[in-house]
Amino acid sequence: MNILDIINQIYNFINTGELIKAEKACLSMLEEYPDNPEIMGILGLVYFQLGNDNLAQYFLSKSLIIKPDNAFLLHNLGMTFLKKGDIDNAIISFQKALQLNQNLAYSCHALGLSYDIKGEYSEALKWYEKAIKIDSNIADAHNNIGIILQKMGKYPEAISSFKKALEINPKYAEVYSNMGLAYREYGLIDNSIEYYRKSLEINPELIDVHVNLALSLLLNGDYLTGWEEYEWRKKQLPKIFSKPFWESYDDDVSGKKILIYTEQGFGDAIQFIRYIPFVYELGAKIILICPKELKSLFQNIQGIYNILTFGEKIPDFDLHCPILSLPYIFKTTIENIPSNIPYLFPDKTIINKWAEKIHSDNNNKLKIGIAWSGRNHVHNINLFAPLSDINEVTFFSLQKGEAASQALNPPNGMKIIDYSDQITDFLDTAGIIMNLDLVISIDTSVAHLAGALGKNVWTLLTYVPDWRWLLNRKDSPWYPTMRLFRQKSIGNWNSVFSKVLNELNIIIRKNSFE
Q: Is the pLDDT of residue 411 over 90?
A: no
- What does the pLDDT read at residue 362? 57
Q: Tell me: pLDDT of 80 over 60.
A: yes
Instruction: State the pLDDT confidence band at 226, using cuts at 50, 70 and 90.
Output: very high
User: What is the Cα–Cα distance from 145 to 149, expressed in whole angstroms?
Assistant: 6
Per the prediction, the chain carries an average pLDDT of: 93
The pLDDT > 90 percentage for the chain reads 74
pLDDT of residue 17: 87
Q: How confident is the model at residue 480 (pLDDT cuts 50, 70, 90)?
A: very high
pLDDT in tens, 232-241: 999 998 888 8
Angstrom distance (rounded) from CA 80 to CA 57: 6
Cis omega (within 30 of 0) on the bond before 342? yes
pLDDT bin (cut points 50, 70, 90) of residue 6 is: confident
Q: CA–CA separation, 436 vs 432, rounded Å?
A: 7
Query: Mean pLDDT throughout 72-90?
Result: 92
Structural domain spans, the chain: 22-233, 257-329, 348-512
Q: How far apart are CA 59 and CA 35, in angstroms?
A: 11
Domains 257-329 and 348-512 share a fold: yes
Q: What are phi and psi of 193, to 5 degrees?
A: -60, -40
Q: Which fold has domain 22-233?
A: 1.25.40
Residue 347 has a pLDDT of 92
With a cut of 70, say whether residue 312 has pLDDT above it.
yes
Lowest mean pLDDT among 184-193, 208-217, 456-465, 504-513: 504-513
pLDDT for residue 49 is more than 70: yes
Residue 428 has pLDDT above 60, yes or no: yes
Give the pLDDT confidence score for residue 193 in this predicted structure. Answer: 99
Rounded mean pLDDT, 339-344: 92
Look at residue 409 in the predicted model and tell me its pLDDT: 84
For 439-454, what is each residue's pLDDT tens digit?
999 999 999 999 999 9
Q: What is the model's pLDDT at position 114?
A: 98
Whether the CB-CB separation of 49 and 22 falls below 8 Å is answered with no
Res 268: pLDDT: 97
d(CA 179, CA 174): 9
Confidence (pLDDT) at 338:
94
Mean pLDDT of 335-362: 90
- pLDDT tens string 111-136: 999 999 999 999 999 999 999 999 99
How much is the pTM? 0.90
**DSSP code string of 249-315:** TTS--TT-EEEEE--S-HHHHHHHGGGHHHHHHTTPEEEEEE-HHHHHHHTTSTTEEEEEETTSPPP
Is residue 1 scored above 80 in pLDDT? no
Question: C-alpha angle 122/124/125, rounded to 5°?
Answer: 65
CATH class of 257-329: alpha beta
Per CATH, the number for 348-512 is 3.40.50.2000
Count CB neighbours of 11 within 10 A: 13
For residue 464, is pLDDT > 90?
yes
Question: Environment class of residue 495 by beta-carbon count within 10 Å: exposed (0-12), middle (13-18) or buried (19+)?
Answer: middle
Q: What is the pLDDT of residue 361?
A: 65
CA gap 74, 94 in Å, rounded: 7
What's the pLDDT score for residue 512? 60
What pLDDT score was predicted for residue 468? Answer: 97
